[in-house]
């Protein structure tokens, strides 16, 4: 299969490395100088310096590659999703191939999930969906085992593409709950910031476990309000991604929280990361969407207070601990 990956950040590069042995893969970046570097060194020094790019992997800064591809995979930050979809539509028109995106979050300014952005750009009924799940780019590029979800509103096509993209080390599972998969993938980054704060303040493992559990309840409430299925969150794109991002040392969003706990400013933190931490803009959009729907998300509100209102991490943790206790719903998710 001819597969074009649009976006040469860490995750786009990792997917290109993982899939190049199985398919005819082209990795596109808008920065021609970056493509020259990748082509000359067979490495991505800024985003994934450890991984060597296979010789079979094609590299280009020419968007015309979209004209001859069987599957388009958009692996930009969510801010790049809309313009990339628009360019794909311009390039292919009625002959648009299936499109998958691997970005997570709510679009800044609109508060839309990726599939809602796609609905505004692509023709009705376009074959498109999300690739999401617990997957650090570095480990995927190193060939360590990983499993992710491929979600589409076209169940048969989702199963077909999952089979085609599935490898021994990168396992894909089809799902038809696009909303649930996307909400899980977006809000877990917000929870990872909260987990990083808790770890940075040395609140302990018990507190982290409680935070993840109550964080999952928040994600579930928002998922249900947006029309998704809470049961989806017990899978890879929910609980799996939440555990990885909230506990793994490779998590940029968890790192943001740990630096907040040290008293660092947000500007200083973002400058030091060198990579996008999607949980930061996603926190604001998540809270706005939740408030509009009347969904209670106290952990998300606390993260926003620390990020954008200069609230003390100690004060936010204290406020969460002082909340009145509630009965836990029997599902463990909705209470």
Residue (of 325, 127, 150, 334) closest to 236 by Cα position: 150
Cβ-proximal residues to 26 (8 Å cutoff; 6+ apart), any chain: 2, 3, 4, 5, 57, 58, 59, 60, 65, 69
Cβ-proximal residues to 74 (8 Å cutoff; 6+ apart), any chain: 6, 7, 80, 81, 84, 85, 88, 99, 100, 101, 102, 103
Annotation says 188 is catalytic: yes
State the catalytic residue, choosing from 2, 104, 138, 188. 188
Quote the tokens at residue 248.
């793994």
Q: Could you tell me the CA-to-CA distances from 262 to 88, 303, 322 in Å, in that order?
A: 43, 15, 22
Q: What is the DSSP string of 65-104?
A: GGGG-SEEEE-S-GGGHHHHHHHHHHHHGGGPPPEEE---
CA-atom Rg of the chain in angstroms: 19
What are the catalytic residues? 188
């Amino acid at each position: 299969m001819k597969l074009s990956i649009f976006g040469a950040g860490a995750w786009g590069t990792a997917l290109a490395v993982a899939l190049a042995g199985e398919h005819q893969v082209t990795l596109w970046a808008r920065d021609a100088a970056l493509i020259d570097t990748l082509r000359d060194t067979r490495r991505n020094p800024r985003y994934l310096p450890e991984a060597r790019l296979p010789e079979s992997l094609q590299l280009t800064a020419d968007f015309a590659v979209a004209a001859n591809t069987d599957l388009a995979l958009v692996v930009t930050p969510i801010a790049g999703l809309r313009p990339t979809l628009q360019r794909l539509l311009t390039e292919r028109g009625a002959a648009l191939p299936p499109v998958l995106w691997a970005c997570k979050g709510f679009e800044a300014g609109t508060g839309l999930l990726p599939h809602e952005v796609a609905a505004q750009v692509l023709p009705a009924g376009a074959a498109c969906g999300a690739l999401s799940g617990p997957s650090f780019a570095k480990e995927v590029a190193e060939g360590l085992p990983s499993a992710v979800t491929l979600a589409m509103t076209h169940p048969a096509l989702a199963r077909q593409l999952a089979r085609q993209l599935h490898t021994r080390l990168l396992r894909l599972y089809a799902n038809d709950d696009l909303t649930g998969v996307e909400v899980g993938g977006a809000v877990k980054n917000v929870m990872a910031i909260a987990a990083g704060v808790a770890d940075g303040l040395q609140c302990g493992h018990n507190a982290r476990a409680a935070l993840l559990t109550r964080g999952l309840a928040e994600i579930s409430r928002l998922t249900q309000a947006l029309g998704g299925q809470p049961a989806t969150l017990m899978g890879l794109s929910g609980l799996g991604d939440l555990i990885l991002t909230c506990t793994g040392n490779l998590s940029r969003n968890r790192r943001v929280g740990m630096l907040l706990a040290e008293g660092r400013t947000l500007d200083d933190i973002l400058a030091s990361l060198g990579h996008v931490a999607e949980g930061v803009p996603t926190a604001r959009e998540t809270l706005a969407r939740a408030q509009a729907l009347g969904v209670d998300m106290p952990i998300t509100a606390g993260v926003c207070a620390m990020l954008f209102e200069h609230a003390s991490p100690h004060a936010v943790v204290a406020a969460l601990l002082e909340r009145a206790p509630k009965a836990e719903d029997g599902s463990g998710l909705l209470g």
